[in-house]
């Protein structure tokens, strides 16, 4: 194509801002500030790693699922999470990083993943509680991300959200079955699981807005559309109602309805625990990465074989 007319010079930074302001999507080949690209890579990779590391605590119960129906659902759910990982790695790759590079960074401890997956799954009720609380918190976050300004990320989130509501429902259903038809032993399992997962799931929304280093810029770029504290409040308001249906007690004595605010008040989160887990000192951080990196290393010969085979085939044809 030959262009003869001269176009007025447009500053790419202005164009970028105009696209953001107009609620349009930034696409991979558009100009974008370096910091926007870096922030997205960090966030999308972290999100992808969370999907993939998050497979471990649930895969832990596939072989021991109490019924074949539950086994099938759990397998399908964990498969979904692997699929979410794939969509998100693909979205991150549009920003100029490869999946292998992201894996290496994860295994080296240079990329993070959601701290929620650094807790063990100790009973079958944990499968229900993860679906109910952890997928529930993830959905709250992801619904917002469907409107993120980066096109590939936003579209990945739309696909993911479609599957997530099934995840939460199956979790709730596990707990409801154990609470309603069940024995004292089952109700104890559920209450214990909720006690263990409640606070960590509130931590999934990240530090308070006043402490969050990334929030302001991410909101300006419209990557993030709602603040950590607002999302957390949304989640709590929704979940407290559901806990009443289940008949479980949420382990927070300060939890009560605040007529004036129109929200539930809740107690102080143990931020020392949060930061300890984020920094690698949670109960399962070491195992999660050792398992992940171990499986990756164990599979190296398989990936090498596949590459060698396709190289040979190319040479022949």
Partner 1 sequence: MAVTKPSGVPQGPAPGYPDPHVEYVLRHGDDNLILAQRLSDWISKAPDLEVDIALGNIGLDHLGAARALLTQAGELEGSGRSEDDLAMFRNERQFKNLILVEQPNGDFATTIARSLFFDAYQVPLWRELSSSDDEVLAGVAQKGAMEARYHLLHSKQWSVRLGDGTEESHARMQTAVDQLWRFTDEMFIADLVDMEMAEAGIGIDPSTLAGEWRGNVTEALDEADLTVPTDEYQRWGGRQGFHSDHLGHVLGEMQWLQKSYPGLAW
Characterize the bridge pairing of strands 263-265 and 256-258. Answer: antiparallel
Given candidates 58, 81, 126, 252, which one binds Fe ion under the rule CB under 5 A?
Answer: 81
CB nearer to partner 1: give 47 or 222. 47
Given candidates 47, 70, 84, 224, which one binds Fe ion under the rule CB under 5 A?
Answer: 84
If one counts every other C-beta atom within 10 angstroms of the C-beta of residue 234, the result is 18
Contact between 151 and 25 (Cβ < 8 Å): yes
Q: Which residues bind partner 1 (CB under 8 A)?
A: 52, 55-56, 59, 62-72, 75-76, 78-79, 82-83, 85-86, 89, 124, 174, 177-178, 181-183, 185-186, 291, 295-296, 298-310, 312
Letters for 160-179 (x = contact with Fe ion by CB under 5 A, - = none) are ----x--x------------
CB nearer to partner 1: give 32 or 116. 116
Contact between 49 and 113 (Cβ < 8 Å): yes
Q: Which stretch in 115-123, 131-139, 146-154, 253-261 sits in contact with Fe ion by CB under 5 A? A: 131-139
Q: Which does 85 bind (CB under 5 to 8 A by kind): partner 1, Fe ion, none?
A: partner 1
For helices 68-93 and 99-107, angle between their N-to-C axes, nearest 10 degrees: 110
Q: Min. distance of Cβ 1 from partner 1 in angstroms? A: 38
| Binders in 222-281 for Fe ion, by CB under 5 A | none
- Distances 238 to 114, 120, 264 between C-alpha atoms, Å: 21, 25, 10
Q: Which does 305 bind (CB under 5 to 8 A by kind): Fe ion, partner 1, none?
A: partner 1
CB nearer to partner 1: give 1 or 185. 185
CB nearer to Fe ion: give 88 or 248. 88
- Distances 62 to 46, 74, 120, 173, 298 between C-alpha atoms, Å: 25, 6, 15, 17, 21
| Binders in 50-79 for Fe ion, by CB under 5 A | 51
Q: How far apart are CA 250 and CA 68, in angstroms?
A: 30
Q: Which does 127 bind (CB under 5 to 8 A by kind): partner 1, Fe ion, none?
A: none
Sign of CA dihedral 294, 95, 147, 266: positive
Q: Which stretch in 87-95, 127-135, 146-154, 255-263 sits in contact with Fe ion by CB under 5 A? A: 127-135
Q: Min. distance of Cβ 102 from partner 1 in angstroms? A: 12
Contact between 128 and 175 (Cβ < 8 Å): yes
Q: Which does 242 bind (CB under 5 to 8 A by kind): partner 1, Fe ion, none?
A: none
Q: Which does 7 bind (CB under 5 to 8 A by kind): partner 1, Fe ion, none?
A: none
Name the one residue in this structure whose structure tokens are 């993070």. Answer: 112
Q: How far apart are CA 207 and CA 210, in angstroms?
A: 8
CB nearer to partner 1: give 62 or 255. 62
If one counts every other C-beta atom within 10 angstroms of the C-beta of residue 85, the result is 20
All residues at 6 or more sequence positions from 11 whose CB lies less than 8 Å from its CB, including other chains? none
Strand partners, 256: 265
Footprint on this chain of Fe ion (rule: CB under 5 A)? 51, 81, 84, 135, 164, 167
């Amino acid at each position: 194509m030959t262009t003869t007319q001269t176009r007025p010079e447009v500053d790419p930074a202005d164009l970028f801002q105009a696209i953001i302001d107009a609620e349009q999507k930034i696409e991979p080949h558009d100009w974008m500030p370096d910091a926007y690209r870096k922030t997205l890579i960090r966030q999308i990779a972290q999100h992808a790693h969370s999907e993939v590391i998050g497979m471990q605590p649930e895969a832990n119960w596939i072989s021991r699922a109490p019924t074949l129906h539950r086994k099938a659902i759990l397998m399908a759910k964990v498969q979904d999470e692997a699929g979410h990982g794939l969509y998100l790695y693909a979205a991150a790759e549009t920003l100029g990083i490869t999946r292998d590079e992201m894996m290496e960074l994860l295994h080296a401890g240079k990329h993070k993943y959601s701290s929620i997956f650094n807790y063990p799954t100790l009973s079958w009720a944990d499968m229900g509680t993860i679906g109910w609380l952890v997928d529930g918190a993830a959905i709250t976050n992801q619904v917002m991300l469907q409107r993120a300004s980066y096109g590939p990320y936003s579209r990945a989130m739309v696909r993911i959200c479609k599957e997530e509501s099934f995840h939460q429902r199956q979790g709730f259903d596990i707990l409801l079955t154990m609470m309603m038809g069940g024995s004292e032993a089952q109700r104890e399992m559920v209450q214990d699981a909720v006690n263990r997962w409640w606070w960590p799931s509130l931590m999934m929304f990240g530090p308070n807005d006043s402490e969050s280093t990334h929030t302001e810029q991410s909101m300006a770029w419209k990557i993030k559309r709602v603040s950590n504290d607002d999302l957390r409040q949304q989640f709590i308001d929704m979940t407290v109602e559901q806990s009443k249906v289940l008949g479980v007690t949420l382990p927070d004595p300060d939890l009560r309805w605040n007529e004036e605010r129109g929200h539930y008040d809740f107690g102080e989160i143990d931020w020392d625990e949060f930061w300890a887990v984020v920094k690698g000192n949670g109960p399962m951080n070491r195992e999660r990465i050792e398992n992940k990196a171990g499986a990756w290393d164990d599979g190296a010969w398989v990936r090498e074989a596949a590459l060698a085979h396709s190289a040979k085939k190319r040479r022949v044809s």
